Structure 1
C-alpha cells in the first residue's frame, strides 16, 4: 500500500499532462563548429505544501 501525503493526490500528479504546449521556436545556427557548456550548481527545494522537490 502506498503512503498518502496530506493534500496531494494522484489527480495532482497527473494535472496538466493533457495541456496544450506552444511550439518550441528554433532557427538555423549561423555559427557552426562550437560547443556551449552551461554549468549550474545543484539546487534542490522542497515544496512546503506537498513535500515534493
Structure 2
C-alpha cells in the first residue's frame, strides 16, 4: 500500500510532463504543415550527395 504513495505522484508527474511537451509543440507550430513535408519529399529532385 505504501508503494501507491510513490507511484501515483510519479505517474501524475509523467503525465503532466507529457501534456506540457505536447502543448509546447502545439505552441511552436510543429503540426502546422503536415502535408507539405510529405509532398516536398516526393517533388524535390535528387539533391543527395555526389559519390
Which TM class, normalised by the smaller chain length?
A: under 0.3
Q: Which has the higher contact order (CA 8 A, sep 6+)?
A: 1
Q: For the pair shown, which has the larger CA radius of gyration, 1 or 2?
A: 2
Greater helix fraction, Structure 1 or Structure 2: 2
